[in-house]
Amino acid sequence: MAGCRDRILRALEELSAAELRRLKAALNRLPLAAGYSTIPRGRMEGADALDLTDLVVGYYREGYGVRVLGEALRRIQRLDLADGLVGDAGEMAVGGAPRRDADDLAAAGPALSPAERFVARHRLALIQRVRGVAALLDRLEADGVLTAEEAAAVAAGPTPQEQMRRLLATAPAWGRRGHRQFLRAMRCLHPYLMEDLGKE
């Protein structure tokens, strides 16, 4: 669903600095589906369009993130961007589901497992702080979470941050088992980081 991520980023890049601040406040007040949590204000503070895209996708995944962001854009009166993001009334939203209004957001989307919630909540920290990605890729490939082609595509990233960004972009396809395997590998390879993140 790379197209959804690109739509989110393009919409955010259209906002002025003042609009971006208002959007962050709107995101903090939206009702959400069971299993999803509001992005903490501290994580959004200082985030630019790319960082906020990572947060939205990390916390809500791409399909649901499009709907959440679309409603936040409506609340700051950027209806042009909201309609371009999720489609006009009566059209089908990204992923083939009918577009929902704000009152329906809390009933939308599947509940996340604890492992999925952890990865979503700490997406930015994982991107910024994980080093030695090659060993992590080896474990995930051995456990069947990644194919050899996926692991190679991630490893081709020029920096550890880009490698982790590419790796976490594949997370929606992992399923619950894959997320558990990812956390198991992280606890083995990066125990101090995982302990630190568990305290947040």
- The helix/strand/coil state of 10 is helix
CATH of domain 2-105: 1.10.533.10
> What was the pLDDT predicted at 94?
33
Task: Tell me what the mean pLDDT of segment 192-200 comes to.
Answer: 86
Is 85:62 a contact under the CB 8 Å cutoff?
A: no
> What was the pLDDT predicted at 87?
56
Q: CA-CA-CA-CA torsion for 189, 139, 62, 1, nearest 10 degrees?
A: 150
Is 78:15 a contact under the CB 8 Å cutoff?
A: yes
pLDDT beyond 80 at 37: yes
Domains 2-105 and 114-198 in one fold? yes
Q: What is the pLDDT of residues 45-91, one digit of tens each?
A: 889 999 999 899 888 888 888 889 988 998 898 888 888 886 533 33
Q: What is the mean pLDDT of the chain?
A: 82
Tell me, what amino acid is at 154?
V
**Of residues 84 and 100, more confidently modeled:** 84
**Angle between helices 17-27 and 62-75 in degrees, nearest 10:** 110
CB neighbourhood size of 142 (10 A): 12
Any residues with CB less than 8 A from the CB of 97 and at least 6 apart, and which? 63, 108
pLDDT beyond 60 at 41: yes
Question: What is the third-level CATH fold of 114-198?
Answer: Death Domain, Fas (1.10.533)
Task: Tell me what the mean pLDDT of segment 159-174 comes to.
Answer: 88
**Boundaries of every domain in the chain:** 2-105, 114-198
Task: Tell me what the mean pLDDT of segment 106-135 comes to.
Answer: 81
- What's the rounded Cα separation, in Å, for the pair 158 and 170? 17
Q: Which of 87-91, 96-100, 114-118 has the highest mean pLDDT?
A: 114-118
- What's the rounded Cα separation, in Å, for the pair 120 and 114? 10
